[in-house]
Chains A and B, each alone.
Chain A
Amino acid sequence: MRLPRALLALTAAAALAACGHRDLSALDPAGPQAGRIAALTWYLVIVGSAVFVVTTGFLLYALWRGGRRVENYSGEAAERHIHRWIYGAVGVTTLILLVTLIYDFTTGRALASFAEPDALTIRVTGHQWWWQVQYIDPVPSNRFETANEIHVPVGRRVRIEVQAADVIHSFWVPNLHGKVDLIPGYTNTTYFRADRAGVYHGRCAEFCGYQHARMDFLVIADPPAQFAAWYRNQLRSAPAPADSVQQAGQQVFLSTRCAMCHTVRGTEAGSRVGPDLTHLASRTTLAAGTLPNIRGSLGGWVLDPQSIKPGAYMPPNPLEPDELHALLSYLESLK
């Protein structure tokens, strides 16, 4: 019992150390909300482990002691003696639970009171199996839409309003905060702040059908100046094609199925079925975190999404090699 536990702890520590590539750890907080929960988690782990060790210790002692008895320990005095121990143990249990309850409540209260009226507001809508992201601003011309990648400024509170377009999803960025469900017919709200610049991975946590496993997103915390630059760029329409190849690519985009589902602001493509592609080339991943956004995977995704993410709502697009080449050049220009 003891030995496997110790081995497991070691393995887990090694695995945790090795997983720097994709940071999804709830115990590596990058902001105050996740930080409070991580502190509570450590309290629960430590107290829980202590309770486990003490209880198992009593059990093993009881088995050892009982195993050596030649005669039962019984009679009225014995029962009274045993009952005193049980009362004591129940008392200690109740006390631990009460302290835990109070710590739970104060943490919950602190998380809820993080709300702030003039936080940066982002509306996230869950779709089977991607994330629609809208930056909300009182000034309509300061609003824009993107997908699967959320940039936030370091040090500023962010208000996330979540909705669902189809089924229930759940928005979770372990480094920043606990999760909140996206439920059709409801709008839920959560607040967090990133105190460290970096790329934080998020996932859909509620089972949402066929490709629930491939519904990831990124939260990228930028220093304020960098964030402002990114924001200004996202507000712009897509850049016009710079050369004849890109021009041909735009024609492919507008004349094939692409434009039936996707928006590229500044062109005639304005459908809102799939993700907004206005600044596709500024994102780091494709297909909700499934692929890196490089030419090879973009080409593969456009030609045959069903072999990469079976069941996704994007159909295969059998293009001629020169059409594909032009389309990819155009998509790569959408910075």
Chain B
Amino acid sequence: MSSTEARVPAGLLNPAERELMERTWRPRRGLWGWLIATDHKSIATRYIITAFVFFLLGGIEAFMIRLQLARPENHLLDPDQYNQIFTMHGTTMMFLFGVPIQLAVALYLVPLMVGTRNVAFPRLNALGYWTYVIGGLFLYVSFFLNTGPDAGWFAYVPLAGPQFSAGKRVDVWAQMVTFTEIAALTAAVEIIVTVLKQRAPGMSLNRIPIYVWAVLVTSFLVLFAMPSVALASTAMLAMDRLVGTHFFNPAEGGDPLLWQHLFWFFGHPEVYIMFIPATGYVSDIIPVFARRKMVGHTALVLSLVATGFVSFGLWVHHMFTTGLPQLGQSFFTGASLMIAIPSGVQIFCWIATLWAGRPRFDTPLLFVIGFIVLFVCGGITGVMIASVPFDQQAHDTYFIVAHLHYVQMGAFVFPLFAAFYYWFPKLTGRLLSERMGKWNFWLFFIGVNVTFFPQHFLGLMGMTRRVYTYLPETGWGPLNLLSTIGAVMIAVSVVLFIANVVRSLAAGLPAGADPWGAHTLEWDTASPPPPYNFAHIPVVDGLYPLWERSPDAAVVTGMAAGKRQVLVTSVMDAEPESIYEHPGPSIWPLIVALTIGVTFIFGIFTPWAFLVGPALMFAPLVLWFWPRRKEPRERGFAEEPA
């Protein structure tokens, strides 16, 4: 720092205070520092990488499924391997990739987008991540020990019950769900509180970026949907299997359909837990690349909220062949069609914005365009299967497989790739290659269509899902081969993406703070952002803070540089209310996560684990919350000469 910079305006941090701030927030080095980290960017980055690794594992499983089905009577996999692999594919993609990565990206972006220094509960954040990793590792270690679950990712009872799935395979599945639930719930709580109480001054509710709205709605979905599957799998299924309860056993007055209701009451909102943040990416990316403000901001926000509410009224459309009363089913047909309206509103607003703006066809926008096309296609097949009579033909066939992959790949993975390309420079400070990005996009887009479009026909030709093989007389061979060729294209495309990332990390062009001319607050700080995110918390005076800011915009001053302080603001208008001091790095979240791991993993063998586990958890929790005697400034900085 040169001495001329000492003349900072009154109230702003002088170089010495900046130095102090750096030191206050700087993460500790080394393995120990990595284990105790609580910075949201550090946690979220490893969350994203972990979830991406699970995406690759789930992708390899998908690829093996496609190889097995490439021709009739193939013997690459035996039925046992096939059943484990398709179960692992679904479980991985839904529980270890889909939900976690959306929450992980939110944990990275939300504090930056709302202009604060960390998520609301940094140590809880670390706990959530560690719990998720333990759950994922547990599932995959079991899988490699030939104890992979094999009853499908929705584990219908009685097949998944004690009588027809002996051994521990289904227990592993049920307990993995528990781990990811805990992780998702902690993330949801952090996001809700961060969005509602830590926004930068001036970011009243009507100025929240759409992506932030999207993850707020998503977090509420997590909060209300997850307990349902927690009850069904962690409590009832595990107890049926471990201690001989009969929740799902019809011979003892239990009910197999109860499982389906509880599971899909979670399972359908889960689809929207993945989809709503994806529309959030799209609604924040389109204005940047159309170089125009979004058409219909209020309509988009209301659509998100409406989608969130209606998503809880759809679950029975997974159960149209179970013989439920017709009148009851009609409501769910109605709701399933109704949810197309808010989705339609969003699509029309996106198209209108592109039409009225001056689109610039960089890779993020290409993925967004691919998303719109695939999402329209998947949405239309969704309207088709909302019909009870049609669904009675399509249910459990490859038509459903095609539909769900159009909406998952199209409406979730494509926006996610758009987001990768868009925010990668912010995370790393380097740009990805546009040329490789375009190859990545086109291979992916064509690959997804070649893989999944033929599956619509296969379904109508009678090919049921979850079959490890089929006879040549069925005539399903050629379309299955085509589908497998598409899967090869997708695989090549993903490899290209990884190559692009590796190349860019090694030799990518420097990105600067804002390579896209974007409008949200995360682009107002360096790339990658410093540990404290913003030297001064910005004051927001518009919906597009960076586009609408006057040159002499105000910033927040007066926060102590030597403490981990965040500004707490009011829910509606983001008026400053108080300054709250965040806890620092801590090892205890990891220790508590390990005790949770011990409890649940041993809990599949003996119910005593649920008595011993909490006892183990007690001491680390006490230490976690033990009040510190010294102010962090005194303790942390008296030791080092400044």
Physical interaction between A and B:
yes
Stretch at the interface among B200-208, B249-257, B277-285, B603-611: B249-257
Q: Which of A73-81, A132-140, A271-279 contacts B (4 or more CB under 8 A)?
A: A73-81
A137 CB, nearest partner CB in chain B, Å: 24
DSSP class of B's interface residues: helix, strand, loop or mixed? Answer: helix
Are the CB atoms of B256 and A185 closer together than 8 Å? yes
From known contacts A93-B341, A108-B326, A212-B466, infer whether A72 and B396 are also in contact, taking CB-CB under 8 Å. Answer: no
Q: A22 contacts which chain B residues (CB < 8 A)?
A: 462, 471, 473-475
B354 touching A105 by the CB < 8 A rule?
no
B355 touching A183 by the CB < 8 A rule?
no
Docked complex Cα distance between A185 and B123 (Å): 47
Q: Mark A288-317, 1 if CB is under 8 A from B, else 0.
A: 000000000000000000000011000000
Q: Mark A29-43, 1 if CB is under 8 A from B, else 0.
A: 000001011001100
- Which chain A residues lie closer than 8 Å to B251 at the CB level? 184-185
B293 interface residue, CB < 8 Å from A? yes
Scoring A40, A78, A104, A188 by chain B CB atoms within 10 A of each residue's CB, the highest score goes to A104
A25, CB-defined interface residue at 8 Å: yes
B449 at the interface (CB under 8 A from A): yes
Are A213 and B467 in contact (CB-based, < 8 A)? yes
In the assembled complex, which residues on chain B have CB atoms less than 8 Å from the CB atom of A128? 164
When distances are taken between beta carbons in the complex, the residues of chain B under 8 Å from A67 are: 358-359, 361
Please determine whether A36 and B389 come into contact, CB atoms closer than 8 angstroms: yes
Indicate which residue in B296, B323, B392, B468 contacts A213 across the interface (CB closer than 8 Å).
B468
CB neighbours of B361 from chain A (8 A): 67
B355 engages A66 (CB within 8 Å): yes
Once the chains bind, are A72 and B356 in contact (CB under 8 Å)? yes
A66 cross-chain contacts in B, Cβ below 8 A: 290, 354-359
| Binding-face segment, B46-54, B265-273, B375-383 | B375-383
The residue that B381 contacts in the complex, of A40, A48, A178, A203, with Cβ under 8 A, is: A48
Nearest CB of A to B479, in Å: 5
Q: Which residues of B contact A52 (CB under 8 A)?
A: 376-377, 380
Chain A residues in 8 Å Cβ range of B295: 79, 82-83, 86
Residues A108 and B156 in contact in the complex (CB < 8 Å), given A89-B344, A181-B323: no
Closest to B78 in A: A310
Q: Is A97's CB under 8 angstroms from B341's CB?
A: yes
Given the complex, which residues of A lie within 8 Å of B338, measured CB to CB? 97
Given contact pairs A66-B356, A72-B358, A108-B326, A207 touches B461 in the complex (Cβ within 8 A): no
Residues of B within 8 A of A18 (CB): 475, 478
Would you call B446 an interface residue if the criterion is a C-beta within 8 Å of the partner chain's C-beta atoms? yes
Inter-chain contact B330/A181, CB cutoff 8 Å: no
A86 proximity list for chain B (CB < 8 A)? 295-296, 299, 345, 348-349, 352
B438 at the interface (CB under 8 A from A): no
In whole angstroms, how far apart are the Cα atoms of A146 and B163 in the complex? 27
The stretch of B96-104, B222-230, B236-244, B450-458 in contact with A is B450-458
Residue of A nearest to B79 (CB): A210
Q: How many residues of B contact A (CB 8 A)?
A: 96
Contact B453 A48, beta carbon cutoff 8 Å: no
Residues of A within 8 A of B255 (CB): 185
Instruction: Say yes or no: A167 contacts B478, CB within 8 Å.
Output: no
Chain B residues, CB < 8 A from A63: 354, 359, 369
Instruction: Answer whether residue A234 sits at the interface, using C-beta atoms and an 8 A cutoff.
Output: no
Knowing A97-B341, A310-B78, the reply to whether A208 touches B159 (Cβ < 8 A) is yes
Q: Are B334 and A48 in contact (CB under 8 A)?
A: no
> Which one, A70, A183, A201, contacts B322 given CB within 8 A?
A183
- The chain B residue sitting closest to A19, CB to CB, is B475
Enumerate chain B residues within 8 angstroms of A82, measured Cβ to Cβ.
Answer: 295-296, 352, 355-356
Binds B, one of A7-15, A218-226, A319-327: A7-15
Q: Indicate if A331 sits at the interface (CB-CB under 8 A).
A: no
Q: Are B159 and A26 in contact (CB under 8 A)?
A: no
Chain B 322-355 interface 0/1 with A at a Cβ cutoff of 8 Å (1 = within): 1100100110011001101100110111011011
* Residues B388-411 near A (CB distance < 8 A): 388-397
Minimum C-beta distance from B111 to chain A (A): 31
Q: Which single residue of chain A is at the shortest CB-CB distance from B338?
A: A97
Question: In the bound complex, do residue A19 and residue B474 qualify as a contact, i.e. CB atoms below 8 Å apart?
Answer: yes
Nearest residue (CB) in B for A177 is B392
**The stretch of A116-124, A148-156, A168-176, A248-256 that contacts the partner chain:** A168-176
A128 to B462, CA, bound (A): 20
Q: Is A166 an interface residue (CB 8 A)?
A: yes
Is A230 on the interface with B (CB-CB < 8 A)?
Answer: no
Tell me, yes or no, whether B465 is within 8 Å of chain A by CB.
Answer: yes
Q: Which of A20, A37, A65 contacts B389 (CB 8 A)?
A: A37
B569 at the interface (CB under 8 A from A): no
| A179 and B323 alpha carbons, distance in the complex (Å) | 10
- Residues of A with C-beta under 8 A to B345: 86, 90
Q: Which of chain B's residues have a CB closer than 8 A to the CB of A208?
A: 159
CB distance from B467 to the nearest CB of A (A): 4
User: Is A194 located at the chain interface by the 8 A CB criterion?
Assistant: no
A48 contacts B257, CB within 8 Å?
no
| B466 neighbours in A (Cβ, 8 Å) | 207, 212-213
| C-alpha gap A8/B642 in the complex (Å) | 69
13 new A-B contacts at CB < 8 Å, known A72-B292, A210-B79: A1-B445, A15-B479, A21-B474, A37-B390, A59-B373, A71-B358, A82-B355, A89-B348, A93-B341, A100-B337, A111-B389, A180-B392, A186-B323
Ranked nearest first, the 7 interchain pairs of A and B with the lowest CB-CB distance are A178-B392, A24-B462, A19-B475, A185-B250, A62-B355, A213-B467, A188-B323
- Give 29 A-B contacts (CB < 8 Å), ordered by A residue: A8-B482, A11-B478, A11-B479, A15-B478, A16-B475, A19-B476, A22-B475, A25-B462, A27-B460, A48-B384, A56-B376, A63-B369, A69-B358, A73-B357, A74-B356, A86-B349, A90-B348, A93-B340, A94-B341, A97-B338, A97-B340, A103-B387, A111-B389, A128-B164, A170-B396, A174-B393, A178-B392, A203-B462, A207-B156
Residues of A within 8 A of B (CB): 1, 4-5, 8, 11-12, 14-16, 18-22, 24-27, 34, 36-37, 40-41, 44-45, 48, 51-52, 55-56, 58-59, 61-63, 65-67, 69-74, 78-79, 82-83, 85-86, 89-90, 93-94, 97, 100-101, 103-105, 107-109, 111-112, 128, 166-168, 170, 172, 174, 177-181, 183-186, 188-189, 201, 203-213, 310-311
